[in-house]
């Protein structure tokens, strides 16, 4: 029984302690997190002939359809003269969310063998699913950059906001991922609720219309309710920064940030509370 000293105790995080420092554990398992992200990415594309090209094609198809439809149907004047960039700035954050939440919801079930038989902080499962999608976001940002180049929109110092805005979305997604994956262990319908929710969300998110139209159309209290959708603030902020070279509106992005932090906190607590019983339920 050698080496029972203090320093080694703190290293022994792979132990079954429930009264433990989970943040520290997740940090110690960062290499496992990285390998899970790699796994997710590799197995997704290894059996596809077009591979990563799909994450270029999917948004392009959607963009093409929207531009085609709106060039025939002109309900009002276009929200912005650069309609393609306007649409992309709405679609990228929404795609990030709609590509992430279904696999995040299912991640505990999908990794049932691991959860039942291997000891590691389960928190890294939903986190890895979210992080794995960053590659697709970057590819779509690449498409956006090409459109910006053609539109002769050059980067300015205001663009420093862009990574910060995506950081807010990352918080939203990790928080939601933890809540939904824990819920899905107990209620397998969660995945279907999420899928229906995503369809609804498209219309309650300023993707094909600007946020300003919502503000003009509804009463102030209803507009505030609308803003509780963190994507509203995220998309509006991106458009302000890139299309108008203005910083985000403090209240709008602020509210999104508050929602993100709340989701992260609640997600972490719910997940930590339910995680010891996952193995019993799957």
Partner 1 sequence: MTGSDVSVANNEELGDKAIIRLDGVAKMYRLNRRRQFLIHDAFRRLLGRAGAGEEFWALRDLNLTIRAGESLAIVGGNGAGKSTLLGLVAGTVAPTHGKVRVGGRVGALLELGAGFHPDLTGEENIFLNASLLGLQRKEVEEKFVKIVEYSELKDFIQVPLRNYSSGMQVRLGFAVAIHIDPEILIMDEVMAVGDQSFQAKCTKSIRKFQEEGKTILFVSHSPGLVSMLCQRVVWLEHGRLKMDGSAKDVLAAYQQ
**Interface residues with partner 1 (CB under 8 A)?**
1-2, 4, 9, 11-20, 28-29, 31-32, 34-36, 38-39, 42-43, 46-47, 113-120, 186-187, 189-190, 193, 276-277, 279-280
Query: CB-wise, 36 or 255, nearer to partner 1?
Result: 36
Query: CB-wise, 5 or 76, nearer to partner 1?
Result: 5
Query: CB-wise, 20 or 215, nearer to partner 1?
Result: 20
The nearest distance, CB 47 to partner 1, in angstroms, is 7
Query: CB-wise, 16 or 199, nearer to partner 1?
Result: 16
Specify whether the CB–CB gap between 275 and 182 falls below 8 A.
yes
Q: How many residues does the chain have?
A: 282
Query: CB-wise, 219 or 280, nearer to partner 1?
Result: 280
Specify whether the CB–CB gap between 172 and 230 falls below 8 A.
yes
Given its phi and psi angles, is residue 261 left (phi above 0), alpha (psi -120 to 50 degrees) or beta? alpha
The nearest distance, CB 188 to partner 1, in angstroms, is 8
Query: CB-wise, 114 or 214, nearer to partner 1?
Result: 114
Distance CA 272, CA 275 (A): 5
């Amino acid at each position: 029984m050698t080496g029972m000293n203090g320093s080694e105790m703190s290293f022994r995080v792979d132990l079954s302690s429930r009264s433990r420092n989970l943040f520290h554990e997740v940090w110690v398992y960062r290499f496992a997190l990285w390998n899970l992200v790699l796994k997710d990415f590799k197995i997704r594309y290894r059996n596809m002939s077009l591979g990563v090209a799909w994450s270029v094609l999917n948004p392009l198809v959607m963009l093409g359809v929207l531009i085609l439809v709106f060039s025939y149907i002109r309900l009002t004047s276009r929200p912005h003269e650069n309609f393609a960039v306007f649409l992309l700035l709405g679609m990228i954050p929404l795609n990030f969310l709609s590509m992430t939440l279904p696999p995040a919801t299912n991640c505990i079930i999908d990794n049932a063998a691991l959860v039942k038989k291997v000891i590691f902080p389960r928190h890294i499962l939903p986190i890895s699913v979210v992080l794995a999608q960053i590659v697709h976001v970057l590819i779509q940002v690449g498409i956006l950059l090409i459109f910006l180049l053609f539109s002769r929109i050059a980067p300015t110092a205001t663009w420093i906001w862009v990574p910060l805005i995506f950081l807010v979305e990352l918080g939203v997604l990790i928080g939601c991922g933890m809540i939904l994956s824990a819920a899905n262990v107990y209620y397998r319908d969660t995945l279907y609720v999420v899928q229906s929710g995503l369809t609804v969300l498209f219309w309650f998110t300023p993707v094909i219309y600007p946020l300003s139209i919502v503000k003009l159309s509804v009463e102030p209290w209803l507009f505030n309710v609308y803003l509780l959708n963190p994507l509203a603030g995220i998309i509006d902020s991106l458009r302000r920064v890139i299309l108008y070279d203005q910083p985000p509106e403090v209240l709008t992005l602020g509210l999104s940030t508050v929602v993100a932090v709340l989701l992260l906190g609640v997600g972490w607590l719910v997940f930590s509370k339910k995680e010891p019983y996952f193995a019993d339920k799957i």
